[in-house]
Amino acid sequence: MSTPLISIFVFVAALLLFEAVRNTLQGRRSNVQSEARKRLSKLAAGLTAPETERAASALRKRGSKRGARGSGFDGFLRSVPGYDRMRLQLYRAGMAFGPGRLVAICLGFAAAGIVVGQLMYPGQTLSLILALFGFVPWLFINSRANSRLSKFESQLPDALDLLTRALRAGQSLTAGFRMVAAELPDPIGFEFAQVADQVQLGHDLPSALNDFAYRIQSRSVPFLVTAIVIQRETGSNLAEVLEKLAAVIRERFRFYGKVSALTAMGRFSANILAVWPAVMVGVVYLVNPSYVSPLWETDEGIRMVMLCVPMVIIGYLVCRRMAVVEV
């Protein structure tokens, strides 16, 4: 690859990585501030369950059209398949920015990988391998979304207990949601506040709850939504139902803790199998560099690396999947 082209890659990579670091740090700092909550609230307003139909949908469509007319990279990505899924995943991760910025970050990481590959070994093979670093931000977003979901589910029994006490004290269900939003931290406080805000703005409660379940994708939330909807139709004792639901969720978490302890060895084995090849190559390189240097200095060695890396990844995923038990 020619020197001017490498210079262009270095400039683009530096620019995108600078923007990625700046926006990521800004997003993480703003997650604990009121400004981020406002931005996430705007994102939540556009994340509507597909089956939800209400009179306010026309207003949201007009708002989405105004956003679609907006210029920039994010406006271009609106027509790309997977845009809505990416936006939903960013919301679940608590990141207050759009898919356009995430794609720019991924491109920055990929460009940086290509530049590093060119500097280490001029050629296309190693650069293509290191370009896979462009998936690192998306993996981080998924990990952060899973962590936020786990925290939400761990907070849900306490939220149900607080909601039960509010109902038994004679308060309305919306007031109970407000109480949970005021007393409990994010993410569950923020999500319950979104439901209360939607009801206050005129949306019917079942539609607001369906949107709530669509945004969170928790296995426990549909039970809460079903209990509230049935109570509105049949007039059952909602406080007693929520109390029993909280007990069931706590028992499920207790059982999940036991299963997690029993499957810890499988997860540990998967981690060891994933890092062991790289560790061995590093150790052998320190002892005898000429023995392993053909892995990245020759075309045959690079082809071996390209074959072994996917096999290690597949083995890691298989081992992790074997250690997963649905509870």
Domain ranges of the chain: 3-146, 147-251, 264-322
Query: Quick one: pLDDT at residue 132?
Result: 83
Q: Taking the CA atoms of 256, 258, 262 and 265 in sequence, report the sign of the dihedral they define.
A: positive
Encode pLDDT of 221-280 as tens digits.
998 999 898 888 887 788 999 999 999 999 988 888 888 888 888 888 888 888 898 899
User: What is the pLDDT tens value at each position of the chain, 327 positions in all?
Assistant: 555 555 666 666 666 666 666 666 555 554 445 565 666 666 665 566 665 544 444 434 444 444 444 445 666 677 777 888 888 899 999 888 888 888 889 988 988 888 887 887 776 666 777 888 889 999 999 999 999 999 999 999 999 999 999 999 999 899 999 999 999 998 999 999 999 998 988 888 888 999 898 888 888 899 899 989 888 888 778 899 999 999 999 998 888 888 888 888 888 888 888 889 889 988 998 899 888 888 878 888 888 888 888 888 888 888 888 877 665
119's tokens: 């500097």
pLDDT at 56: 42
**What pLDDT does residue 165 have?**
93
The 3-state secondary structure of the chain reads: CCHHHHHHHHHHHHHHHHHHHHHHHHHHHHCCCHHHHHHHHHHHHHCCCCCCCCCCHHHHHHHHHHHHCCCCHHHHHCCCCCHHHHHHHHHHCCCCCCHHHHHHHHHHHHHHHHHHHHHHCCCCHHHHHHHHHHHHHHHHHHHHHHHHHHHHHHHHHHHHHHHHHHHHCCCCHHHHHHHHHHHCCCCHHHHHHHHHHHHHCCCCHHHHHHHHHHHHCCCCHHHHHHHHHHHHHHCCCHHHHHHHHHHHHHHHHHHHHHHHHHCHHHHHHHHHHHHHHHHHHHHHHHHCHHHHCHHHHCHHHHHHHHHHHHHHHHHHHHHHHHCCCCC
pTM of the full structure: 0.71
Cβ–Cβ < 8 Å for 238, 173: yes
* pLDDT at residue number 321: 81
Number of C-beta neighbours around residue 267 at 10 A: 15
Instruction: Determine the Cα–Cα distance for residues 303 and 19; give it in Å rounded to an integer.
Output: 34
94: left (phi over 0), alpha (psi -120 to 50) or beta: left
Among candidates 184, 164, 158, 156, which has minimal Cα distance to 231?
164
Residue pair 270/316 in contact (Cβ under 8 Å)? The answer is yes
Topology of 147-251 in CATH?
A: Receptor-associated Protein (1.20.81)
The amino acid present at 240, given as its one-letter code, is E
